[in-house]
Structure 1
């Protein structure tokens, strides 16, 4: 932490060099390494993934603790508040591009790749038994002419995806109520609605975990189930991870509310988490329509 006069807000706070970024990067390295090895059949990857998550979450805890301490000690001026708002805005924009790439992969596979493999040149020369229909495990199609993909059934919109849609939309409403309560200075009301929002987030993640069990056990739908399986788990899996991260944000914001950290005039920590949660809601609506219905 940079030196500052006690009780006086600096013109602009500049923190000292920190170990947190490199430690967080190391944790994410273990996560990616473990996940990549686990899905390729190496059992030790699961341990690397778990260790990386624990390391990463512990780093975030200490990193956020330091930032909260700086904020509560009066180090952050309005200029720092503005920089945080711009930083969160650009972060959410990067997440928009992140999901745009995945939705783009789904679009390209459905509109270009699968029809191209089914045209006369490819069908007659490469895969005579291939039928260019979506989903790739649909009626009348041969999902894998070379028998590299096991037969599977697709995931429909009912009941769990539709229930989860209602849960996320409700959580957006409860979070908005809590935000208005913070603005009105009604801390107890805000805390109650925030815990309800967290509970809805936990319920969403629980339903999605059950959906994955159902997909593997009953539908034989896996990450290896052709282009449909890979795009399905890529989109729903990364979205579920974002819900989990957003839920952690809401938990810490609620705990800070209970400690009295926010005022009606200054509560960007709350607003930043709310922006992220509403972003997750919007992404799910697109995912629900494009993945489960079409």
Structure 2
């Protein structure tokens, strides 16, 4: 006896203008940022800053519009388990690309500490290079004095960095509790844990601003152009701060949706995606705290 196989419907949205809008926004950001940076050191006026701001505004408009369409489609019940699988694969690849992004910066830090800086001091087959060019240079890390004489101060792991580490690790726990509350359909606990996670993220960012202000003070003189140490410190921690900002915004949008009654124990991919991303930035910070601040 033959049975008819049941196929699950897969929603295919209509043609959208949002990808084109996003492409134009990214083009404006690239051109504007390039022009702005190229004229930053000169006194001549630059139109790059305005183009950059226009691109950022357009990308924000695109995100609100496109994500709004996706939310409306989801709430209308147009998505199936297959669609959820596609979303999960997309988010997984996005996080993987972010892992590779930070791996490049960690690789630059590793190369500078293990190879480049010791070579300047004559390590390996570079004894004559160090003796002739920089005879008084000593390879240390943090590199508080560059070969050209630029002096700075290393940022310690205690104080604000340690507090921020505790805050971010705690926020990862609260995000997990929020996820468990959602799966158990405990809405009050979900709101409380998710709100606390957002508050911890905001406090983390606020303390990082204070840390940067301390680094740029006359006491430390730790600037972005303070040699390879200043470069790697601000690039790694700065891009991580940008990702924490994005993660906090994602959690806040999810929080607003929770207040509106969105998500069920069976259907909550948006919450899950934001939670994945938040755990990712927490793991990256642990690596930063160990390799940038402690070791």
TM-score (norm 2): 0.88
Q: Distance in 2 between matches of 1:195 and 1:274?
A: 13
Structure 1 partner of 2:74:
71
Residue 55 (str. 1) matches residue 62 (str. 2): no
Aligned to 2:281: 280
CA pair 66-242 structure 1, distance change in 2 beyond 3 A: same
Name structure 1 gaps, 5 residues minimum: 1-8
Farther off after superposition, 22-31 or 37-46: 37-46
Q: For residue 245 of structure 1, give the secondary structure of its aligned residue in structure 2.
A: helix
Say whether 1:136 aligns with 2:129: no
CA–CA distance in structure 2, aligned partners of residues 210 and 50 of structure 1: 25
> Which residue does the alignment assign to 2:4?
none
Structure 2 segments unaligned to the other structure (5+ residues): 1-6
**Number of paired residues?**
279
Q: Is the 8 A contact 1:33 1:49 kept in 2?
A: yes
After TM superposition, give the deviation of residue 14 of structure 1 in Å.
Answer: 1.6
2:25 maps to what in 1?
27
| Aligned partner of 1:118 among 106, 118, 121 | 121
Instruction: Tell me the CA shift for residue 25 of structure 1.
Output: 3.6
Match of 1:293 in 2: 294
Superimposed CA distance per residue, residues 149-193 of structure 1 (whole angstroms, 9 cap, x where no aligned partner):
x32111111211111101101111111111111111111221121
* Residue pairs, 1:116-195, within 5 angstroms: 116-119=119-122, 120-137=127-144, 142-145=145-148, 147=149, 150-195=150-195
1:18 to 16, 19, 37: 16
Deviation, 1:24, is 2.7
- Aligned alpha-carbon RMSD (Å): 2.0
| Aligned pairs for 1:100-111 within 5 A | 100-111=103-114
**Residue 241 to residue 224, structure 1, CA distance change in 2 (3 Å):** same
Please, which of 91, 95, 103 is the counterpart of residue 92 of structure 1? 95
Report the counterpart of residue 3 of structure 2 in structure 1: none
Q: Is contact 1:10-1:76 (8 Å) kept?
A: no
TM norm structure 1: 0.88
Name the CA distance, whole Å, in 1 between partners of 2:9 and 2:154.
57
* Residues in 2 aligned to 1:225 and 1:25: alpha-carbon distance in whole angstroms: 35
Structure 1 runs of 4+ aligned residues shifted over 6 Å read none
Tell me, in whole angstroms, the C-alpha distance in 2 between the residues paired with 1:24 and 1:90: 19
1: distance between equivalents of 2:9 and 2:115? 55
